[in-house]
């Protein structure tokens, strides 16, 4: 476990020392909160959402922050490839599986921190958390989103050499995942064919789980959502570990 902790600690130090990365990652989520939250709060009414549209989209924006941060942490793999650090790590007498787990935990931790910052800022914008246990429930779903999509990013990065290509592919994949997750609109009001697509999106269950924890309402059974998201997390970790073990540097 020493190598897992070492890789995790390296990721954390790189994250905490990069103030521009922390601040820059808050730009888009805050934009959505301020423009959509305050702009549409007085004109959009969501059935069953007691805190208005602002309270409805906060879980979605928190999920977005965790999603983008976790997925793009995979770029660290390509960066390490190009600068030779990954080669030095892989030739060391340690398991590649441990290296991958360390990278996954590091990316998921930074993603959770980013999501927590957005959640904390939302409290100053009028969000009311229903209970402490609910906050813990939301945190569990944030962790699962971070782990699953960090592993997803590592899986893609393991097969790529170019950072710009990685960013383009991730944008092509991640924006539909976020758009179909019900982060910005209630999935119950969608046409049946589009609702079916939404329910195939694993992020949907993370968004609804966080929404249940923060507001006590959800359009998907929270226990079912936990099972689906946990299963997706295990699947992506296995896929990411398999591809990372085959990486060629």
- Would you say 184 and 122 are in contact if contact means Cβ atoms under 8 Å apart? no
Tokens of 59: 């879980």
Question: d(Cα 222, Cα 138) in Å, to the nearest integer?
Answer: 10
- The pLDDT, as a whole number, for residue 56 is 81
Interval 91-117: pLDDT, tens: 777 778 888 898 899 999 999 999 999
Sign of the four-CA dihedral 172, 247, 100, 107: negative
Kindly calculate the radius of gyration of the chain based on its CA atoms and give it in whole angstroms.
Answer: 18
pLDDT-based confidence at residue 39 (cuts at 50, 70, 90): low
Question: d(Cα 133, Cα 139) in Å, to the nearest integer?
Answer: 10
Measuring CA to CA, which residue among 38, 80, 81 is closest to residue 61?
38
DSSP state letters, the chain: -HHHHHHHHHHHHHHHH-HHHHHHTTHHHHHIIIIIIIHHTTT---TT-TTHHHHHHHHHHHHHHHHHHHHHTTHHHHHHHHTTHHHHHHTSSS-HHHHHHHHHHHHHHHHHHHHHHHHHHHHTTT-----HHHHHHHHHHHHHHHHHHHHHHHHHHTT---HHHHHHHHHHHHHHHHHTTTSSS-GGGS-HHHHHHHHH-HHHHHHHHHHHHHHS--SS-HHHHHHHHHHHHHHHHHHHHHHHHT---
> Is the model's pLDDT at 16 over the cut of 80?
yes
pLDDT-based confidence at residue 123 (cuts at 50, 70, 90): confident
Question: d(Cα 3, Cα 93) in Å, to the nearest integer?
Answer: 10
- The pLDDT, as a whole number, for residue 41 is 63
Interval 207-232: pLDDT, tens: 999 989 888 888 889 999 999 999 99
Average pLDDT over residues 128-148: 88
DSSP state letters, 109-145: HHHHHHHHHHHHHHHTTT-----HHHHHHHHHHHHHH
- Would you say 79 and 62 are in contact if contact means Cβ atoms under 8 Å apart? no
Average pLDDT over residues 228-241: 94
Name the residue ranges covered by the structural domains of the chain. Answer: 2-245
Question: d(Cα 48, Cα 58) in Å, to the nearest integer?
Answer: 15
Question: d(Cα 240, Cα 127) in Å, to the nearest integer?
Answer: 36
Measuring CA to CA, which residue among 210, 59, 40 is closest to residue 122?
59
């Amino acid at each position: 476990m020493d190598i897992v902790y070492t890789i995790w600690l390296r990721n954390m130090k790189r994250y905490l020392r990069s103030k521009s990365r922390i601040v820059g990652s808050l730009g888009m989520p805050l934009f959505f909160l301020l423009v959509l939250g305050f702009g549409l709060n007085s004109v959009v009414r969501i059935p069953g959402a007691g805190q208005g549209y602002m309270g409805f989209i906060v879980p979605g924006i928190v999920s977005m922050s965790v999603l983008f941060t976790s997925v793009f942490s995979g770029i660290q793999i390509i960066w390490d490839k190009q600068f030779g650090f990954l080669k030095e790590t892989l030739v060391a007498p340690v398991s590649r599986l441990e290296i991958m787990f360390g990278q996954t935990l590091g990316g998921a931790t930074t993603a959770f921190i980013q999501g927590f910052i957005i959640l904390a800022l939302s409290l100053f914008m009028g969000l009311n958390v229903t209970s402490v246990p609910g906050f813990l429930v939301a945190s569990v779903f944030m962790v699962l989103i971070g782990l699953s999509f960090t592993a997803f990013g590592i899986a893609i990065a393991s097969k790529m050499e170019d950072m710009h290509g990685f960013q383009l592919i991730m944008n092509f994949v991640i924006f539909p995942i976020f758009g179909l997750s019900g982060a910005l609109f209630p999935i119950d009001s969608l046409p049946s064919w589009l609702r079916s697509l939404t329910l195939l999106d694993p992020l949907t269950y993370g968004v609804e789980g966080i929404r249940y924890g923060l507001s006590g309402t959800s359009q998907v059974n929270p226990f079912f959502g936990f099972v689906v998201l946990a299963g997706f997390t295990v699947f992506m970790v296995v896929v990411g570990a398999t591809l990372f073990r085959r990486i060629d540097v």
